[in-house]
Chains A and B, each alone.
Chain A
Amino acid sequence: MRKIIRCLVPCLVLLFLYVPILILAVYSFTESTQIGDIKAFTLKNYVTLFTREDLRSMIVGTVLLALGSAVLATLLGTLGAIGSFYSKKRISSAMATVNQIPVINADVVTGFSLCILLVVVFGIGKDTYIPLVLGHVTLCAPFVYLSVIPKLKQMDSSLYEAALDLGARPRTALLRVVIPQILSGMISGFSLAITLSLDDYFIATYTKPATFNTISTYVVNATRGSQTEVKTALWALSTVIFVLVILIVLVMNLNAGAAENRNRKEAKA
């Protein structure tokens, strides 16, 4: 009895989480425009997804925006973390506090206040993409900062001093000694920035140019409309993203597993 419950509860929750996505995936291969009625198999949703101009530009735009803002956020956040780590306690704790604001704040408030500052006060047009990119960097950089700081704390500070003693210039010591040690934090900050930017709706709605759409804003607008061609093509998009996520998770797990095996072998040897 106990065993059954221990198995049943997680399974039911998994069903709740995955059934909608899976059903949508099945229906994305059929001609039906509504869940429930079974119709013939077709790939036309996938063809539409990759050939319709607005869908394609929306996907490409979302990905480019995510990559661009993640690169900027990683640069800024990492430099900020290094600078704040070596600054006086007062300065570094002030930076850590301000850094926490976008993390805790609701995205609606962040997006709205940025829009007022940049668009209403400074008069920067949304068509320039500047508010949008700045908005996404503001969303992501604090998380990069938070992923890098622990790595700096774990680092052996004498290594940097040793490099200087051995004649390295500070710049070289930073690039050759500090950066390699915080690289894992930078990478996890970067991936986090990508996922945050891809999933964002609110900051984009308040700062994006009228003609530009991210996946989130596009999908939300599409659910208000009644275009069935777009609707079913989005089912296909959801399936494609689902498969991509599974692949990425698999690769990450395999990599982690391989690394673990390697470590174990080295430990034995």
Chain B
Amino acid sequence: MKFSRKTLGIPYAVFLLLFVVAPLVVLFYYAFTNGTGEFSLKNLTDFFSDPNTLGTLFYSLLLAMTTTLVCLLIAYPVAYILATSKMKSKPVIIMIFVMPMWINFSLRITALKEILTLIEGNLAFYPFLNSVIGMTYDFLPFMILPIYNTIVKLDGSLTEAARDLGANERRAFMRVTLPLSMPGIISGISMVFLPAMTNYVVLDMLNNSTFIMGSLIGSYFSAHNWHNGSMIALVLLGIICVFTLLTDRGDEKDARTGGALL
């Protein structure tokens, strides 16, 4: 066969078909069939008629929104201060903020758990608060980094122009800097919100016995209930798709890639 650069992509294309597309097809199949392989909508109606699963859906939305908001409120000032500071060693400082990302998350949560136990005595008293703290602790760098990257690239002369034209500092920030840092905010939100809906290990480790969407999949997995588990996964996938369409601006697609700063 004649050598062509196009053919080099075939292994990866086959790989994507087999291990990315096919699992989703199977997920669909299992979500809409029952144990005997017949088409059924029971899993779907199960999901939307069971107060437990609906409650879980709302609980995880609430938890994810709170976590995202807390992360944003902490990360924006930090990113703004770092990006606008006149220090020469900015890259080193932002590196220090991002470094925890490279320590295994389970070990970091273990550390946090010990501290929270020391402060609160018993973690079971404040399950929601602890989950928010735990997820903020885990995901904060993912919010700081994209916002910092956006603000640091902003053209400083725009703010200066606004000031020259008579805007006070607050107004210049609200009308110039903040709108221009929206792409960073949005990519930060998408990097925190979705993991916060699904990363149930953080809850598990912090003794929060409440379920979020991810833990539903986990519990059906342990019970070998593939059909209902698939339906949950599919609902989650739907939420992810909607969320991605809402936040996708095209240019920030590699946010998670840039997330490693490598």
Interface residues, chain A, with chain B CB atoms under 8 Å away: 6, 9-10, 13-14, 16-21, 23-24, 27, 34-36, 76-77, 79-84, 86-87, 91, 95, 98-110, 112-117, 120-121, 134, 137-138, 141, 143, 145-147, 150, 169-171, 174, 188, 191-192, 195, 198-199, 201-202, 205-206, 215-216, 219-220, 223-224, 234-235, 237-238, 241-242, 245-246, 248-249, 253
- Alpha-carbon distance A113/B262, docked complex (angstroms): 30
- Alpha-carbon distance A12/B196, docked complex (angstroms): 23
Residue of B nearest to A171 (CB): B3
Residue of A nearest to B111 (CB): A20
Asked if residues A83 and B6 are in contact (CB atoms below 8 Å), the reply is yes
Given contacts A17-B100, A216-B105, contact A113 B26 (CB under 8 A): yes
Main secondary structure of the interface of A (DSSP, over half): helix
Asked if residues A108 and B104 are in contact (CB atoms below 8 Å), the reply is no
Interface residues, chain B, with chain A CB atoms under 8 Å away: 3-13, 15-17, 19-24, 26-27, 30, 74, 77-78, 81-82, 85, 92-93, 95-97, 99-108, 110-115, 117-118, 137, 140-141, 194-195, 197-201, 204-205, 214, 217-218, 221, 226, 229-230, 233, 236-237, 240, 244, 253-254, 256-257, 260, 262
Given contacts A14-B97, A201-B106, A216-B106, contact A113 B8 (CB under 8 A): no
With contacts defined as CB atoms under 8 Å apart, how many contacts are there between chain A and chain B in the complex? 247
- Alpha-carbon distance A159/B170, docked complex (angstroms): 51
Residue of A nearest to B262 (CB): A188
Asked if residues B5 and A21 are in contact (CB atoms below 8 Å), the reply is no
Given contacts A10-B82, A114-B19, A143-B257, contact A237 B11 (CB under 8 A): no
Asked if residues A76 and B107 are in contact (CB atoms below 8 Å), the reply is no
Residue of B nearest to A96 (CB): B253
What 6 A-B pairs have minimum CB-CB distances, sorted nearest first?
A83-B9, A80-B12, A113-B23, A20-B111, A219-B106, A238-B107
Asked if residues B104 and A219 are in contact (CB atoms below 8 Å), the reply is yes
- Nearest chain A CB to B220 CB, angstrom units: 9
Residue of B nearest to A193 (CB): B260
Asked if residues B13 and A83 are in contact (CB atoms below 8 Å), the reply is yes
- Alpha-carbon distance A146/B140, docked complex (angstroms): 23
- Alpha-carbon distance A223/B114, docked complex (angstroms): 11
6 contacts between A and B (CB under 8 A): A80-B15, A83-B7, A83-B9, A112-B217, A220-B204, A238-B107
